[in-house]
Structure 1
C-alpha cells in the first residue's frame, strides 16, 4: 500500500470506506437539517421529523441518499487521503521526517488546505443532494408561484389550484442534467463560496479536536486507542465542527436550494442580508441542534471505520 515514505494510498481507501458508512448513518438527520435550513413551515426539529414522516413515510428521510452514497465515498477518500498525506509532507518539509507528528500550526494548515480542496468535489455533491432532498418543497414553491400569476380578476380560487405531487428530478443524473441545461456548469457550483466559508474553518475544527481528544484518551502516547475512544473523539469532533459551521451552512443550503424560476438570492451577501431582514439573526442557527446530534454518530462512524480500515491495510 505504501508508495513512498510521504505518500500513502491506504489513507484514500480507508477514507472511502469510512465515507460510505457515515452517509448511511447520517443521511436521515441531514435531510431534516436541510429542510429546516432551506425549507418553510417547520416549527421545530421534531415538527420537521413528524411532517416528513407523515407526508413522505420513512423513505422521505432517505431522499437523495443514492448520490451521496456513491459520491461521498470518493469525497471522503480525497479529504482523508489529502489531509493525512499533507501532514506527512509538512513534517517532511519542516522536520525532515514525514513520520513526525504535526504540531497545532501544522494541523491547522493541513486542515484548512483540505477544506479548500474539498469544495471542488463537495460543492456539486452537496448541491445535487440538497436539490433532491428539497424537491418536494420546491415543487410546492413552483406551484404557488404559478398560482400567484393567475390574473386577479379570475374566478379561480387559490385552493382550487392543484399542487403536483411528482418530483422535479427523477434521480441524481436527471438532476445534474437539468442543472446543466438551465444553469450551466457554474450552476453545479452555486453556493461554493459559502461552502468555502464553512469548510475551511470547519475542517480545522474537525481534525484538530479529534487529534487533541485522541491524545487525551491515549495518556502514554504509544498504545492503540480503544474503538470506543475513537468513536468518542470522532463524535465530539463532528459535533463541534458542525455546530460552529451552522451559520455558513445555512447560507450554503439556501443558495443551493434556490432553484425556483425566480431566484431569491443574488449571492452570499444578499442571502445573508435577506435572511437577516426577514427572519432575524436566529435564522443562522437554524438546524444547529440537528447538526450537533447528527454530527456525533456520523463522525464517530467515519473515524472508527477509517481507523480500523487503516489498521487492516497496514497489517497486510
Structure 2
C-alpha cells in the first residue's frame, strides 16, 4: 500500500512540533549524556546519571534554548526528508530494505546542516557546569580553550565563533556529525517502518498511535546505542574548553587513537544509556505527533484562497 500523501508544509510542521515536544521532555538527560562523555583521564565529577541530577534542577537546562530553537528545523528536515526519499524511491508504494536504508541515508545527510551548529553551541553550554565543578575539585587546574571561564550565552558564543573562525567555527565536528547521523538514520528509519508495519490493523489500516510510539522508542534506542562511539568522538571534538590534564584532538582519527590509548575501548560507550534514554522517547513522541497529523488538522482550518 502506498504511504498517505502529505504536503511538504505539513511534514515540516509535524516534524517541528514533534521535535519541540520531544526535546522538552528529555533535555536534562541529554545534558547528563554530554557531561558523562566529556569526562576523561580520571577526572570523574559525574559517575552516573544520578550524580548529574544531584545538582540543583535549575542548573540542568543550559543549552535548552538553543536546542528548542534549532530542533524545530532539524527534526522537520529529518522526518520530511525521509518521507521525500521514501516516496521517490518506492515502486507501487513498496520499498526494498536497501531503498529504505538509502532514504534514511538521505535524511541523515540533510539534517546535519542544522544539527552541527545546534550541537556545537549546545555542548559548550551544557559542558560549562562540568568545567566549573572540575575547578572546584582541582583549583590548580587551568582550563584551556577559547570560551571564557564564565558561561557565555548562545549569542555570545555564536558571535565569538563567527568572529574568530567564520562559518567554519559553527561547523566544527561536521565530519563526525555526518558519521553519526547518517548511520543512525540508516538504522532507525527502516527499523521503525518495519516495526510499525507489524502493528498495523489489517492490510489497509494504520498502526495505532501506541504502536508508533513503542516502535519509535525501540528503533531510536537501538540506533542510538549503535552509533554511540561516534557520538563520543563528536562530543569531544566539539568541546572548546578542556582541563589542563584533558586531551585535545586534531580530528576523528586522532580522537580515536587517544581515547583508545588513554581510556580504553570502554570509553566509547560513555553516556550510552543516557543517549538511549534521550533518543527513545524523543523519537517515540516524534512519530506519534507526526502520524497523528497535527499539522494537517490545523492547516485544514485555514481559509482556502479562491482560485
Q: TM-score, normalised by structure 2?
A: 0.84
Measured after TM superposition, the shift of residue 219 of structure 1 is: 5.6
Deviations along 1:262-307, one digit per CA (max 9) or x if unpaired, are: 8811111111111111110000011111122222211111111111
Deviations along 1:217-262, one digit per CA (max 9) or x if unpaired, are: 1162321222211111111111011111100000000011133598
Deviations along 1:111-170, one digit per CA (max 9) or x if unpaired, are: 001111111211000110111101123456789999567xxxxxxxxxxxxxxx97331x
* Partners of 1:304 and 1:166 in 2: CA distance: 41
Q: Does 1:33 align with 2:15?
A: no
Equivalent residue for 2:104, pick from 106, 111, 114:
111
Name the counterpart of 1:203: 185
Name the counterpart of 1:71: 70
Measured after TM superposition, the shift of residue 181 of structure 1 is: 2.5
Residues 6, 304 of structure 1: CA spacing in aligned structure 2 closer, same or farther, 3 A cutoff? closer
SS in 2 for 1:9: helix
Equivalent residue for 2:228, pick from 242, 246, 268:
246
Residues 174, 299 of structure 1: CA spacing in aligned structure 2 closer, same or farther, 3 A cutoff? same
Q: Does 1:218 align with 2:200?
A: yes
Measured after TM superposition, the shift of residue 46 of structure 1 is: 3.3
Structure having the higher helix fraction is 1
Equivalent residue for 1:273, pick from 248, 252, 257:
257
Deviations along 1:188-208, one digit per CA (max 9) or x if unpaired, are: 111111111111110111111
Name the counterpart of 2:52: 49
* Partners of 1:146 and 1:188 in 2: CA distance: 31
Deviations along 1:10-47, one digit per CA (max 9) or x if unpaired, are: 11111111111111012111000000001341453235
Which is further off, 181-190 or 109-118?
181-190
* Partners of 2:198 and 2:59 in 1: CA distance: 40
| Partners of 2:32 and 2:49 within 8 A in 1 | no
* Partners of 1:189 and 1:315 in 2: CA distance: 35
- Taking only aligned residues, the RMSD between alpha carbons, in angstroms, comes to 2.7
Name the counterpart of 1:136: 129
Could you list the runs of 5+ residues in structure 2 that have no partner in the other structure?
Answer: 143-147, 301-307
* Partners of 1:148 and 1:67 in 2: CA distance: 29
* Partners of 1:310 and 1:71 in 2: CA distance: 20
Name the counterpart of 2:304: none
Name the counterpart of 1:162: none
Residues 257, 218 of structure 1: CA spacing in aligned structure 2 closer, same or farther, 3 A cutoff? same
SS in 1 for 2:85: helix
* Partners of 1:45 and 1:203 in 2: CA distance: 28
Q: Does 1:124 align with 2:117?
A: yes
| Partners of 1:10 and 1:313 within 8 A in 2 | no
| Partners of 2:201 and 2:207 within 8 A in 1 | no
Larger Rg computed on CA atoms: 1
